Each structure stands twice: as C-alpha cells, then as structure tokens.
Amino acid sequence: MLFLSREHSIAGTWGYSLDDSWIHAVFARNIATGNGFSFNPGEPVAGSTGPLYSLILAGIYWITREVIWSAKIFGILCHAASAVFLARAAGRLIPGERWAPLLAGLLLALSPSLTWASLSGMEISLYVLFVCAGLDFYLAGRQVVAAALWAAGVWVRPDGLFLVALSLLGPRSLLPRKVLWITPILALYSGFNAWVGESALPQTVATKTQFGVHVDWIVNVFREWGAVWGLPYRRWDQLDHPGLLVPLLILGAVVSARRYPLVALYLIGFPLAFALFRHSSASHKRYIIYVVPFGILLAAWGAAAIPRHVPSIPRRAVAVLAIVCLVWQAAYLNRKATEHGWNVQNINGMQVTLGKIAKELTHSGATVGASDIGAIGYFSGRRIVDLMGLVTRKNTLPQNLSIHKPDIIIVDMEWFKEYAVRDSASQYFAFYDAESTHKYTALGGVELDHNTITSTDLMIVLQRQRVGEPPVLSKFRIQS
C-alpha cells in the first residue's frame, strides 16, 4: 500500500517502473488476441526474456483485458508466496527454532528491492518464487523436485541455468533422476525459442550479453553485489539490506558449507558467472537480486548458530540484531517507495507519452523505429523496428532505416551519435539511411525534469524525409 500510494501521488496514475515491463505487456496482448507469440502482430520472435511470464500475463489479459493491475497483483502474490516458502525452508534448515524461520520470511517480505520488483511489472517476483519453492523442497530432502522447479524457472530467467547446474550437485544416486526431469523441461524451452525465433535462447540474451573474462566487469559486479548487502562503493548506491546481515550470512555459509554447499555457492557463484556476460547488474541491481533469498537464508542460519557456537552471547543480543535488520529494511521501504513512484512517473512521462505521440503522428499500418520499444509499442499500436535489436534483427541504424523505412524514429541521441550528421537545412542533427536517399530530421522531443530510471533525460522524435526537402516546421518539446 505504501508503494502504490506513493506511485499514485508522484506519477498521478498507475504504470510500470521499467519500460521493459511494457514489452511483456505487448507480448501478452498479442498472444491473448490471437496474434501469436510476437511483439509485432503476426511476426513470431523470441523477444521475451521470460516467455512463461509473458504467457501467464497473456492468460490474465485474456480474462481481464488489462495489463497494469493484473501484473502488479500477480507480482504481489508471488512475492508473498516466496516469503512463505523461504520461511519454510529456514524451518527445515534450522529445526527446533521458531524465530529464525520467521526472521527469514520477514526479511524477504520486507526486502525493499524485492518489494519494488513485485510492483515493477517484470518477471523478477515469479522467478524468485521458483527459487524459494525450490529451496524449500531442496532442504526437505527432495532434491529432484527442487531441480525440476529451478529448471522451470529458466522459462522465466535464462540465467537460471546457473542454478540448474548447481542442482546437479549432491548424491550421485539422484543424478539420473534429476537429469531425467531437467532435460525435457530445458529441451522444451529451447525448442520453444527456436520455434518462435532463431536460437535456443531468447533473442534478448544475444543482444544484451557478451561473453568474456574481464576483470573490471567482475570487480564492478561484485561491488554491486556488495551494495545489495549494504556495502556501498558509490554515494548513490541503494542499501536495501543492512550491512549487519553480512557477518551473519558469512557465518551461515561457514556452518552450512558441508551439508548444503549449493546455498553458499549460488550466493557467491552467481554474480561471478553473471560478470562473464555483463559488466553491470542494471538499475535496482535487478539482474543479481536473485541472490537475496540465499543470503537471507544463510543470515538466518548464522543468527541461529551464534548462541549454539558462542554460548557467551545471549539470545537477546541476537534478537536485538535481528530486529535492527528488520527495522532497517522497513525504514528503507519508504525511500524505495518514493523511488518507485518516480520510476513510474518517468516511464509514463517519457515512453508512454512518446507512444501516444507516435500514434498521433502516424497512420494505421505505419512503422516506427525506437530505441525503447515497450510503452512505445504498446501505446502506438504501430509496427515497431527495434533499433537495439531485442525484437527485430539487429542492424546498424542506417541499415535499419533503409530496410524498414520507418515513418518516424524515436531515439536516445547519445546511443546513435556516431551516425548523427548536422543537417544544413535545419542546422540540427539528422540521420541518413544507408543509401543516403532519405534523412530523419527532428520533430521534437520529450524531456524529464527528474530522471530516476531512463537512460536519458531527453528522447527525440525524427521524421523521414527525402534528402533535399526543407525541414518540418511543426515542432514540439514536452517536459515531464
């Protein structure tokens, strides 16, 4: 309620806190209305990072014909269920302790980053649910079921493959059964992507990742991992979880290393594996916050282990430490809620507004090129050329302009500045297609006064013209 009230008071209406969330909404609408698994109706593409999430949203959209509240309610339910599963998992890990499972469940429920995720419209909360349910079964001794759940989670997050690989650790006698369950789930996933696209993984994976061993990438991702646990290295880092959890999770990792090495291995190994493909975990650390349930589980175990291994420390001292951690997160929720509100305002004020402008500027059946495709695709109702290559084939900007001939393009100029040429007629920058027969000159733009989430404060709308034509006189500038 805090997040929703802050969202409405800041943004003035409801929405998503990321433009990527609108990509799922476009897929959901197209699937539900009989246009296939596509971003542009009738053009199948493996452009959803989490196809299962898009399919679930499609089922809900088919019933409700609505995408914002349905995604939020679904995210909240997933988040709540994750807290219950993690509490159960902690109870299995620390039998006989009542307060440690409660602590684990509350820490997850009050996690500012995961609360933000539940209302973001993204697939994060669904994947966390698969993770926590799998942990519950894993610690209950049902490792085969856990492995199957984590394999199903790959349908939501492809980087879930790392957890699937870890699930193969354990008794050798269980390995054949694990493989028997995991293989068809992953084969079906790969076959689905190949059916709607051209590869075994979503097209977004190839576009957003680049494999390589870069020391600076590894250092940066682990710095961001540290910030997840309250260890800042930049003044603007979001310290969603208190640093007091760090010694507890380290103790938990030491105590659990022999019995359940998977938990600690994922906590440290996932950011390392992630850093081989990307240099940053993006806004809100959203690509690595899947470590949060593992860290909380270990911290609860560490807190329970203190009185057992150090009898001189009274239980009351550990209880006070646990309460301080909960109060930290509860207090930080207020700051996170404000940030969420501004995130929604930014996406509504820029990308949603640009989508509506694109619809007004173009005719039905027109083509729009965009560097942010989610809300622009949803609200314009036009065929979208993804200039970044997430849902259409990746090309250079001039190639895209020649191949698709979009009527207008909407871009972050900084991303394409290498192709910008000063237009002598308008004295403004223009883009030329590969043949230099047509140019794209500015019509106007939308600018954010307080940007908290988008890659740029200003996005420009440019219109297609023949070379030599005078610049368009009607221009606009919208500030939000």
For residue 473, the model assigns a pLDDT of: 61
Q: How far apart are CA 6 and CA 406, in angstroms?
A: 38
Q: What is the CA radius of gyration of the chain?
A: 24
DSSP letters, 100-112, are HHHHHHHHHHT-H
For residue 291, the model assigns a pLDDT of: 97
Block means of pLDDT (10 residues each) for the chain, 480 residues, are 96 96 97 96 93 97 96 98 97 88 96 97 98 97 97 97 96 96 97 92 86 94 94 84 93 90 96 95 94 96 86 84 94 96 98 97 96 97 95 94 97 93 77 94 94 94 90 74
Asked if 412 contacts 371 with a C-beta cutoff of 8 angstroms, the reply is yes
DSSP 24: H
Q: Please tell me whether the overall predicted TM-score, pTM, comes out greater than 0.85 for this model.
A: yes
Asked if 100 contacts 106 with a C-beta cutoff of 8 angstroms, the reply is no
For residue 51, the model assigns a pLDDT of: 96
For residue 207, the model assigns a pLDDT of: 84
Place of tokens 């057992």: 308
Place of tokens 């009738």: 42
Q: How far apart are CA 477 and CA 480, in angstroms?
A: 10
Question: Cα 1 vs. chain centroid, distance in angstroms?
Answer: 22
DSSP 64: H
Beta-carbon count within 10 A of 324 CB: 11
Indicate the helix (H) or strand (E) that contains 115.
Answer: helix 112-118
HEC readout, 117-174: HHCCCCCHHHHHHHHHHHHHHHHCCCHHHHHHHHHHHCCCCHHHHHHHHHHCCCCHHH
